[in-house]
Structure formats: structure tokens, C-alpha cells
Amino acid sequence: MNFVAAESPAFRTSLSGVPIKPLYGPADLADFSAQAEIGRPGQFPYTRGIHESMYCGRLWTIRQFAGFGRPRDTNRRFRFLLDQGQTGLSTAFDLPTLMGLDSDDPRSVGEVGRLGVAVDTIDDILALFDGVDLQKVSVSMTINAPAIVVMAFYLAAARQRGCDWRQLRGTIQNDILKEFHAQNEFVFPPEPSVRLVVDLIAFCTRYVPQWNPVSISGYHIREAGSTAQQELAFTLADGQHYVQKCLERGLSIDAFAPRLSFFFNAHNDLFEEVAKYRAARALWAEMIRDDYGAKSEASWKLRFHAQTAGCSLQAAQPEVNVVRVAYQAMAAVLGGCQSLHTNSMDETFALPSEQAVTLALRTQQVLAHETGVTNTVDPLGGSYFVESFTHKMKQDADACFRAIADQGGMIAAVENGYFRRQIADAAFEYQTAVDRSEKLVVGVNAFQQPDRDPIAVMEIDPATEPGQIGTLRAVKQNRSGADVTRSLDALRHAAEHRDNVMSSLLQAADDRATVQECVDALADVYGRFRPSAAW
């Protein structure tokens, strides 16, 4: 089958279905105040970027997401990536850890160390970051339902190693709302889940001031099938909900807003993605300044990490994924990201091999040092098309905000399944458009090639699970059962009395309580959330 690009409907709408005209000009910028909406880089509303000099001043952080096997396996991968020129760390935890289960729980069988690193106790955190200077390297941890538990383990481990918490830099995802919308790794019901997010924001604001205690994430919303517009709006609405809950807790907006960070997807449609990032910055700045009265400029600036779209990778002709990732990475950089993960070409089969992750890392290094995109600030600023698309993005997001309000607000919309339905509808619409060849995917519904030899993929050592269980049992044997019981009782007490649970979790970490023991203690008070199976 031959395709003529000009005749394909795929070239007349954006990836998310927004109609695109063949030509844009001054008339497209007529119905809004270009000066007020576009502004200058480093100035409100930050459409052109949060820094005056952007990458001319400092490159984005190259931060590949990594984690598999036991802590020492991931520690080796971390050191390898740092040796290859990565500039920050990013930790993937395995599913049992993400779900608050220990490696020896029957529900963990087959999953220990498979999709990320297995962490059961503070000893695993110590092994994971062995030899890494936590006061120098910024560390990201992608975990949500048990985020506060793992953060307590991290802080207790840092304290044991003599680190000053005030020097620690990094990010913990800790964004439970997007779990209810999309990613499905939740444990407790929505309200107490958000309470834990606020506990961690409040604690870090006071004691770990350079840490980003939440990374408000659209990435997974997009991966679950949303449009770019939904990703933008749902993410900012989640951020707005956390802000409201922090204010209700008595925190002052300028105390915590500068440490809120964001995480967006970098998908295939370059201009739609750039418009999304630019609109996100402007909408957030307006919301934080005008709706919440933040006085500090640091509060207004939306900082974000981007990751190339895992769901865009194809099993057919996997080498082509390198090209997809490169263009997606360029979108993130032209959109002004602060840090970036580039996916590896083999991720439609397994976790990345060392060879594949090196190529993904090199993709960022070529972008940073060879393509010239860093030579000037916001090179797309002022483009008739980009600016009018950015404006359209803001309007579409406003319509989404109104729809959420019509549902009765964030928690009501989570509970009635609004977000899940919206995302599932968009995912189905996209897939059927691909099946009808209305959207072309190279190697899938166009330009196919017969299968060739499969590429090499990484395998997880089968000794991981028994090994990790052995370590956990040894920890349980050598700790004081009485101490653990006492610290878990204190944790339950704090949860029941609506005190911040962080200090009791720090004690539990020192006493070598496990992730699951802490999560179960919290679930005794908060209960557990069961999702509906609606599709």
C-alpha cells in the first residue's frame, strides 16, 4: 500500500485531533493580546520559558529512568549511567513496592525486581544509593501510593550516612490523583491518599527545602490514552487540588508552591507538544498568581520533567523507535523542559538493555551538543502557528476545567469515574483511527517490513526474587520485633489523630519496619480503594 502524504488526513489534524490549517499568519494572533500572553522568557506568564537564558545558561538535566532487580543491580546501572554522562538519577521501583507489598507477599510472586528495583526496608535504600553522593546528585523516585513511606526510608538512610537534609536535591513523584485517573497504583481511598501527599509536602517544605515533594504528572494520563489537551488540563487540575489542600492545611502558598514540580509526556506531534508545554506554564502562572495570590515569582514558575512517549514505541521495526524518541526529545527541549528522559528502542519488549539505554542517552547528548537547539532561547516563540496553537491549548484546557467543576470537583470526578471514562474514550478513538489508517504509524499500518531477527533484550536474573526474599527474612530476624511494633502503633496513632505521619515513619524506617508493614498500618486506619472494572 502506498501513501501520499499530502492526501492523508493524518496531516490535517494534530495527533490529538485538533484541526490544523495549511497556513498561519498575523490574523491568527489577532484575537488575543500577543504581548501579554507571550511575553519574554523568564517573565510572567513564562510562555517562553521560566529562565531568561534557558539552555544558554544551563542544559536540562539528563535523567534516565532506571531500576530493576535487587538494589545492588540498580546501583550498578546508576553508576554506569553517571559514567556515561547522565546528570541526574531517576529510580524505577518494582510493582510490589509501588503497591506497598513486600517481596515475600504471595501477591508479589513473579514480579519482584521485574519492572523496577525491589525495596523492602531502609537497608535496600542504603544499598541502592551506595557510593552516590546524595548531597551532589539529584535523585528522582517514581512512587506514589507508598511515596511517603519510601521518602521516610530515603531521609532516614541519608541521615544515617550523615547527609544534611537541607542539602538534598531531588523529586519524589507522590502524585496519587493521576493514579486514580490512569496508572492504577493506588492503595488507599482518594481523600486519605491526598492527605498523605500533603503530609509529605508539609514535611519537606519545613525540613528538606530543596526537595520537590510532588511531581504532578500528566505522563501516565497520556500513556493511558488521553489527548494532549486532556493531559494538560487534568494535570493542572490535579496540581490545583493539591494547592487547595495545602492551603487548607495552613501552609502559605509561597512556602510550598516553588517546590511543586510537573512531569509531562513528549509525544509524536512536535508542535502540539510544544504548545502544550507553553500553555501549561502560562496557565499555571496565572492560576498561582491570580487565584491563589502568590507573591513570589518562584511560585509562579512551572518547572517540568519530560519523558518521551512509551506508548508511541512500536514492536515492528524497533530501530525506528530511536527516531521517534529523538523527535519527541526535541519537542520537549523546544518546549522548555528542565529535565528529560529518553526511552530506549527495546522498551516494547522489556526493560532497556545497557546498549539500548546508552543509545537513548546519546540521543539527548547529540540534541544538546550538536543540533544547535540550545543556542538561542525559545526559538519557536513568535511563530504564528505555535503561538496560536498555544492559545488554543489554553482555551481547550479551560473547557476541561469547567467540565471537572461540573462533575462536582476533583474527588467527585475521581469517584464517579469521569477521568477514566474520558481517557478510555480517547484511547479507543485513537486506536480505531490507526486501524482505519486515518493516522499513519510507520511499520504498523504503513511501510511495513517482514519480521527480521529480533533485537536482543535484557533478562532479569531469576535469582532476584529468592535473593531479595532471603535478604528481607534476614532483616526481619535481626531487628527488634518490639521496636517495630511500637513504631507501627505510633504510625497508626498519628494517622487516626490526623497528625503528620512523617515523624513516625522515620522512626519505623530506623527500626527496620518494611514498606508493607507501614502501608498495612496506614490501611488499618484509611481503608483500601477498589476500582470499578468499567471499560
Partner 1 sequence: MNQPPLAQRILLAKVGLDGHDRGIKVVARGLRDAGFHVIYSGLWQSIDAVVQAAADEDVDWLGVSILNGAHMTLVPALLESLRQRELSQIGVIVGGIIPPADQAKLIELGVRGCFGPGTPLPSIVEFCNS
- Binding of partner 1 at residue 355 (CB under 8 A)? no
Q: Write the binding mask 40 to 79 for partner 1: x where contact by CB under 8 A, - elsewhere.
A: ----------------------------------------
Is the Cβ of residue 185 or residue 199 nearer to partner 1 in the bound state?
185
The closest of 193, 189, 258, 267 to 230, measured between CA atoms, is: 267
Is the Cβ of residue 58 or residue 528 nearer to partner 1 in the bound state?
528
Q: Which string of DSSP letters, residue by residue, matches 425-480?
A: HHHHHHHHHHHTTSS--BTTTBS-----PPPP-----TTHHHHHHHHHHHHHHHS-
Q: For the CB of residue 388, give the shortest distance to partner 1 in the complex, in Å.
A: 31
- Binding of partner 1 at residue 348 (CB under 8 A)? yes
Q: For the CB of residue 374, give the shortest distance to partner 1 in the complex, in Å.
A: 32
Q: Which residue has the cell 513570589?
A: 296
Instruction: Select from 237, 270, 350, 356 the one that contacts partner 1 (CB under 8 A).
Output: 350
How many of the chain's residues bind partner 1 (CB under 8 A)? 47
Query: Segment near partner 1 (CB under 8 A), from 287-295, 370-378, 433-441, 506-514?
Result: 433-441
Residues 159-218 that bind partner 1 (CB under 8 A): 179, 183-185
Q: Which helix (H) or strand (E) holds 488?
A: helix 481-496
420 C-beta neighbours (distance < 10 Å), count: 20
Is the Cβ of residue 166 or residue 436 nearer to partner 1 in the bound state?
436
3-state helix, strand, coil in the chain (%, to 5): 50, 10, 40
Q: Which residue has the cell 509562579?
A: 300
Instruction: Select from 132, 247, 411, 457 the one that contacts partner 1 (CB under 8 A).
Output: 457
- Binding of partner 1 at residue 432 (CB under 8 A)? yes
Distance in angstroms (rounded) separating the CA atoms of residues 511 and 531: 33
Q: For the CB of residue 110, give the shortest distance to partner 1 in the complex, in Å.
A: 3
Backbone angles phi, psi at 210, to 5 degrees: -95, 0
E strand spans, 173-268: 211-212, 214-217, 260-266
Q: Write the binding mask 214 to 243 for partner 1: x where contact by CB under 8 A, - elsewhere.
A: ---------xxx------------------
Is the Cβ of residue 122 or residue 313 nearer to partner 1 in the bound state?
313
- Binding of partner 1 at residue 424 (CB under 8 A)? yes
- Binding of partner 1 at residue 481 (CB under 8 A)? no
Q: For the CB of residue 443, give the shortest distance to partner 1 in the complex, in Å.
A: 8
Q: Residue 204 in contact with residue 165, Cβ under 8 Å?
A: no
Is the Cβ of residue 101 or residue 156 nearer to partner 1 in the bound state?
101
E strand spans, 179-331: 211-212, 214-217, 260-266, 303-308
Q: Residue 294 in contact with residue 288, Cβ under 8 Å?
A: yes
Distance in angstroms (rounded) separating the CA atoms of residues 34 and 55: 24
Q: b/e for 68-82, b at 16 or more Cβ within 10 A?
A: bbbbebbbebbeebe
Is the Cβ of residue 2 or residue 532 nearer to partner 1 in the bound state?
532
Is the Cβ of residue 105 or residue 130 nearer to partner 1 in the bound state?
105
Distance in angstroms (rounded) separating the CA atoms of residues 260 and 510: 28
Instruction: Select from 299, 445, 468, 507 the one that contacts partner 1 (CB under 8 A).
Output: 445
The closest of 14, 48, 42 to 387, measured between CA atoms, is: 48
E strand spans, 157-213: 170-172, 211-212
Is the Cβ of residue 212 or residue 516 nearer to partner 1 in the bound state?
516
Q: For the CB of residue 533, give the shortest distance to partner 1 in the complex, in Å.
A: 3
Q: For the CB of residue 505, give the shortest distance to partner 1 in the complex, in Å.
A: 23
Q: For the CB of residue 255, give the shortest distance to partner 1 in the complex, in Å.
A: 33
Q: Which helix (H) or strand (E) holds 139?
A: strand 139-142
Q: In this structure, what C-alpha cell is assigned to residue 52?
A: 531568561
SS3 112: coil
Query: Segment near partner 1 (CB under 8 A), from 271-279, 328-336, 402-410, 427-435?
Result: 427-435
Residues 81-120 that bind partner 1 (CB under 8 A): 95-96, 98-99, 101, 107-111, 114-115
- Binding of partner 1 at residue 427 (CB under 8 A)? yes
Is the Cβ of residue 326 or residue 434 nearer to partner 1 in the bound state?
434
Query: Segment near partner 1 (CB under 8 A), from 43-51, 52-60, 273-281, 441-449?
Result: 441-449
- Binding of partner 1 at residue 349 (CB under 8 A)? yes
Q: Which helix (H) or strand (E) holds 359?
A: helix 354-369
Is the Cβ of residue 379 or residue 443 nearer to partner 1 in the bound state?
443
Distance in angstroms (rounded) separating the CA atoms of residues 152 and 132: 18
Q: For the CB of residue 477, give the shortest distance to partner 1 in the complex, in Å.
A: 26
234's CB contacts (< 8 A; 6+ apart) are: 178, 181, 218, 221, 226, 400, 404, 419
- Binding of partner 1 at residue 433 (CB under 8 A)? no
Residues 283-322 that bind partner 1 (CB under 8 A): 311, 313-316
Is the Cβ of residue 71 or residue 258 nearer to partner 1 in the bound state?
71
Q: For the CB of residue 498, give the shortest distance to partner 1 in the complex, in Å.
A: 28
Is the Cβ of residue 53 or residue 184 nearer to partner 1 in the bound state?
184
Report CA Rg, the chain.
23
Instruction: Select from 416, 431, 480, 485 the one that contacts partner 1 (CB under 8 A).
Output: 431
Q: Which string of DSSP letters, residue by residue, matches 362-417?
A: HHHHHHHHTS-TTSSS-TTTT-HHHHHHHHHHHHHHHHHHHHHHHTTSHHHHHHTT
Note the residues at the interface with partner 1 (CB under 8 A).
95-96, 98-99, 101, 107-111, 114-115, 179, 183-185, 223-225, 311, 313-316, 347-351, 424, 427-428, 431-432, 434-435, 441, 443-445, 454, 457, 460, 531-533, 535
